[in-house]
A and B are shown apart, each in its own frame.
Chain A
Amino acid sequence: MNQVARVAKLRGTQPAQELGTRGIERVARNPDCLRLKALTIAGVSPAKAAQDILHRDDVEAQSPFALVLDQKFDRHVLQNGAANLFSLYVEKGHLEPAESKIVSIADFAPGPSFAQCRRRESETRRLLALKLARDPAAPNLIIQPRLVLDFGGVPHPIEPDYLVARDDEPFYRVGVLKSYADRGGKTDPADLRAACRQAAVGVAALRQFLSAGGADAMIAAARCDLILKVTGFFLPTLQRMAILGEVDSIERALADAPTSLEEIEALVPTWGTLSDPAVLVAIPSRYHSNCREHCALWTHCREQALAVSSPALLGEHASEYLAPAGSIIRAIELMKNAPGISPRTEAEAIVQAELARAYRTLSEASNG
Chain B
Amino acid sequence: MADVLDLVARLAAFDQQRAIRHASHRQVAIQPHTLIMCPLAMAGEDTAVHAIAIGGINQPPEICVIGDPRQRDEQYALIAWLGERIERYFGACRARGDFPQFWVSSSAAAGHLDILADRLRFTRDNPPIKRVGELLTYATERMPYAGQQALMTATGALSTLFATGQHQGDDEHLGVFLTWLAPPPGLSLQNAIVQAEREVMGVKTDPEFDRLTLQPLVSAYDAAKKSGASPQELQFRYQQVASVLTPIVTRIYDAVQQALRWLDQPIPEAPVLGELRRQEASAFASFMLGRDAGAALPYRDGPKAAAFKMVEREHALQSLAADQSYGDRMAAARSRWTGHLISGSVVGGTSVREGKKTVHRLVIASEQVNLHLRPRDQLVLTRDPRLQVVVEDVRIASEGTHLHVRIKKGHQAVGVPLTGAQVELGADRANWDMLIRKRGRMAARLTTLPWTHTDGPAPAMQPLAVPTDLQAAIEALR
Spell out A's residues near B (CB within 8 Å).
Answer: 58, 60-70, 179-181, 183-184, 186, 188, 231-232, 289-290, 299, 306, 313-315, 317-318, 321-322, 328, 331-332, 335-336, 354-355, 358-359, 361-362, 364-368
User: B12 at interface (Cβ–Cβ under 8 A)?
Assistant: yes
For the complex of A and B, 3 pairs with smallest distance between CB atoms:
A66-B44, A63-B43, A69-B44
A355/B115 in contact, CB under 8 A: no
A293 → chain B closest CB, angstroms:
9
User: B168 at interface (Cβ–Cβ under 8 A)?
Assistant: yes
Residue of B nearest to A60 (CB): B207
B5/A335 in contact, CB under 8 A: no
- CA–CA, A364 to B329, complex, Å? 9
23 A-B pairs, CB-CB below 8 angstroms?
A: A61-B208, A63-B204, A63-B205, A63-B210, A63-B211, A64-B211, A65-B44, A65-B45, A183-B115, A184-B300, A299-B194, A314-B10, A314-B14, A317-B3, A318-B167, A328-B11, A335-B8, A335-B11, A355-B8, A359-B8, A361-B336, A366-B24, A367-B24
- CA–CA, A270 to B204, complex, Å? 45
B23/A62 in contact, CB under 8 A: no
A314/B44 in contact, CB under 8 A: no
A358/B337 in contact, CB under 8 A: yes
Assuming the contacts A318-B10, A354-B4, A358-B5, asked whether A364 and B333 have C-beta atoms less than 8 A apart, the reply is yes
B468 → chain A closest CB, angstroms:
40
Q: B190-219 vs A: 1/0 string, CB under 8 Å?
A: 100010001000001111101100110000
User: B9 at interface (Cβ–Cβ under 8 A)?
Assistant: yes
- Chain A residues with CB below 8 A from B14, complex form: 313-314, 328, 332
B118/A69 in contact, CB under 8 A: no
B168/A315 in contact, CB under 8 A: yes
**A-B contacts besides A63-B43, A365-B329, 13 pairs, CB < 8 Å:** A63-B44, A313-B166, A313-B167, A314-B11, A335-B8, A355-B8, A359-B8, A362-B5, A362-B9, A365-B333, A366-B21, A366-B22, A366-B24
- CA–CA, A282 to B195, complex, Å? 26
Assuming the contacts A231-B118, A328-B14, A362-B12, asked whether A368 and B7 have C-beta atoms less than 8 A apart, the reply is no
B169/A358 in contact, CB under 8 A: no
Contact among A231, A317, A321 with B119 in the assembled complex (CB-CB below 8 Å): A231
Contact among A289, A361, A365 with B167 in the assembled complex (CB-CB below 8 Å): A289
User: B314 at interface (Cβ–Cβ under 8 A)?
Assistant: no
Q: Which of B265-321 contact A (CB under 8 A)?
A: 299-300
Contact among A61, A232, A358, A365 with B211 in the assembled complex (CB-CB below 8 Å): A61
B5/A183 in contact, CB under 8 A: no
B210/A65 in contact, CB under 8 A: yes
- Chain A residues with CB below 8 A from B44, complex form: 63, 65-70, 179
B167/A314 in contact, CB under 8 A: yes
- CA–CA, A315 to B170, complex, Å? 10
- CA–CA, A366 to B14, complex, Å? 17
User: B47 at interface (Cβ–Cβ under 8 A)?
Assistant: yes
User: B332 at interface (Cβ–Cβ under 8 A)?
Assistant: yes
- CA–CA, A321 to B2, complex, Å? 13
- CA–CA, A186 to B141, complex, Å? 12
Contact among B23, B170, B198, B337 with A289 in the assembled complex (CB-CB below 8 Å): B170
Contact among A306, A332, A365 with B11 in the assembled complex (CB-CB below 8 Å): A332
Assuming the contacts A231-B115, A289-B170, asked whether A332 and B15 have C-beta atoms less than 8 A apart, the reply is yes
User: B330 at interface (Cβ–Cβ under 8 A)?
Assistant: yes
- Chain B residues with CB below 8 A from A362, complex form: 5, 8-9, 12, 22, 333
- CA–CA, A321 to B11, complex, Å? 12
- Chain B residues with CB below 8 A from A331, complex form: 11
- Chain B residues with CB below 8 A from A368, complex form: 24, 329
- Chain A residues with CB below 8 A from B208, complex form: 60-61
- Chain B residues with CB below 8 A from A361, complex form: 5, 333, 336-337
A355/B210 in contact, CB under 8 A: no
- CA–CA, A321 to B3, complex, Å? 10
- CA–CA, A332 to B333, complex, Å? 21
User: B430 at interface (Cβ–Cβ under 8 A)?
Assistant: no
Contact among A64, A231, A313, A365 with B210 in the assembled complex (CB-CB below 8 Å): A64
Contact among B45, B169, B190, B214 with A315 in the assembled complex (CB-CB below 8 Å): B169
Contact among A58, A65, A321, A365 with B42 in the assembled complex (CB-CB below 8 Å): A65
- Chain B residues with CB below 8 A from A354, complex form: 4
- CA–CA, A132 to B111, complex, Å? 45
Task: Point out which of B20, B207, B333 has the most chain A C-beta atoms below 10 A from its C-beta.
Answer: B207
Task: Point out which of B7, B15, B42, B208 has the most chain A C-beta atoms below 10 A from its C-beta.
Answer: B7
- CA–CA, A328 to B208, complex, Å? 34
User: B46 at interface (Cβ–Cβ under 8 A)?
Assistant: yes
A60 → chain B closest CB, angstroms:
6
User: B254 at interface (Cβ–Cβ under 8 A)?
Assistant: no
A290/B12 in contact, CB under 8 A: no
User: B114 at interface (Cβ–Cβ under 8 A)?
Assistant: yes
- CA–CA, A70 to B46, complex, Å? 12
- Chain B residues with CB below 8 A from A318, complex form: 7, 10, 167
Contact among A290, A299, A365 with B169 in the assembled complex (CB-CB below 8 Å): A290
Contact among A62, A232, A322 with B47 in the assembled complex (CB-CB below 8 Å): A232
- CA–CA, A321 to B6, complex, Å? 12
Assuming the contacts A314-B10, A355-B4, asked whether A231 and B47 have C-beta atoms less than 8 A apart, the reply is yes
B219 → chain A closest CB, angstroms:
10
Contact among B10, B42, B46, B214 with A181 in the assembled complex (CB-CB below 8 Å): B46
B4/A358 in contact, CB under 8 A: yes
- Chain A residues with CB below 8 A from B336, complex form: 361
Residue of B nearest to A289 (CB): B167
A317/B7 in contact, CB under 8 A: yes
A298 → chain B closest CB, angstroms:
11
- Chain B residues with CB below 8 A from A184, complex form: 299-300
B190/A306 in contact, CB under 8 A: yes
B215/A65 in contact, CB under 8 A: yes
B142 → chain A closest CB, angstroms:
14
- Chain B residues with CB below 8 A from A335, complex form: 8, 11-12
- Chain B residues with CB below 8 A from A359, complex form: 8, 11-12
- Chain A residues with CB below 8 A from B119, complex form: 231-232
A314/B7 in contact, CB under 8 A: yes
- Chain B residues with CB below 8 A from A65, complex form: 42-45, 210, 214-215
- Chain B residues with CB below 8 A from A289, complex form: 167, 169-170
B167/A315 in contact, CB under 8 A: yes
A304 → chain B closest CB, angstroms:
12
- CA–CA, A266 to B119, complex, Å? 54
Assuming the contacts A64-B210, A364-B333, A365-B332, asked whether A358 and B7 have C-beta atoms less than 8 A apart, the reply is yes
- CA–CA, A184 to B298, complex, Å? 13
Contact among B7, B168, B207 with A61 in the assembled complex (CB-CB below 8 Å): B207
Assuming the contacts A332-B14, A366-B23, asked whether A66 and B43 have C-beta atoms less than 8 A apart, the reply is yes
- Chain B residues with CB below 8 A from A64, complex form: 207, 210-211, 215
- CA–CA, A359 to B167, complex, Å? 18
- Chain A residues with CB below 8 A from B111, complex form: 188
A355/B11 in contact, CB under 8 A: yes
A296 → chain B closest CB, angstroms:
12
A198 → chain B closest CB, angstroms:
18
Q: B1-38 vs A: 1/0 string, CB under 8 Å?
A: 00111011111101100001111100000000000000
Q: Which of B133-184 contact A (CB under 8 A)?
A: 165-170
A314/B4 in contact, CB under 8 A: no
B368 → chain A closest CB, angstroms:
11
- Chain A residues with CB below 8 A from B207, complex form: 60-64, 66
- CA–CA, A141 to B208, complex, Å? 37
A231/B5 in contact, CB under 8 A: no
Residue of B nearest to A180 (CB): B46
